[in-house]
Amino acid sequence: MIKTLLLVGIGGAMGSILRYLTHWLTSKYFQSSFPLSTFLVNILGSLLIGLFIGYLGKYFPENHPLKFLLIIGFCGGFTTFSSFALENYNLLQNNNQITAYIYIATSIILTISAVGFGSYLSKYL
């Protein structure tokens, strides 16, 4: 159990650091009311989780340590639903309803599609 907790924690820390760096880079180069960094992180994280689930499911047993490190830890720390919810709340509070609805719809469609695409790509790894 301790090993599993450490793997999840290490993966989560790595994912959180990469998420912060993504936010820092997008904020530095792209100024917009659209929450681009969370949008990109959630799509990329969905693609990665699809890849990891497909690849690890094919080559490793059910409770392999890489699943805890990469899927639960890294992807869990990298992606974020609470930031997504807060950004939409702020958009709605600031009368940016159209941007909020576009963000909600495209995020849901693209993240689910990215999981499927990642799973599909894993067949070729």
73 is in an annotated binding site: no
Q: Which of 14, 24, 30 is nearest to 79 (CA)?
A: 14
Give the model's pLDDT for residue 26: 94
Is 90 exceeded by the pLDDT of residue 60?
A: no
79 is in an annotated binding site: yes
Rounded to 5 degrees, φ, ψ at 79 are -85, 165
Q: Indicate yes or no: pTM above 0.85.
A: no
Q: What is the pLDDT of residues 75-91, one digit of tens each?
A: 999 998 878 998 999 99
State the SS3 of 33-58: CCCHHHHHHHHHHHHHHHHHHHHHHH
Is 90 exceeded by the pLDDT of residue 23?
A: yes
The answer to whether 54 touches 121, Cβ cutoff 8 Å, is yes
**Domain extents in the chain:** 2-122
Mean pLDDT of 26-40: 91
d(CA 70, CA 8) in angstroms, rounded, equals: 8
Question: Maximum distance among all alpha carbons in the chain?
Answer: 49
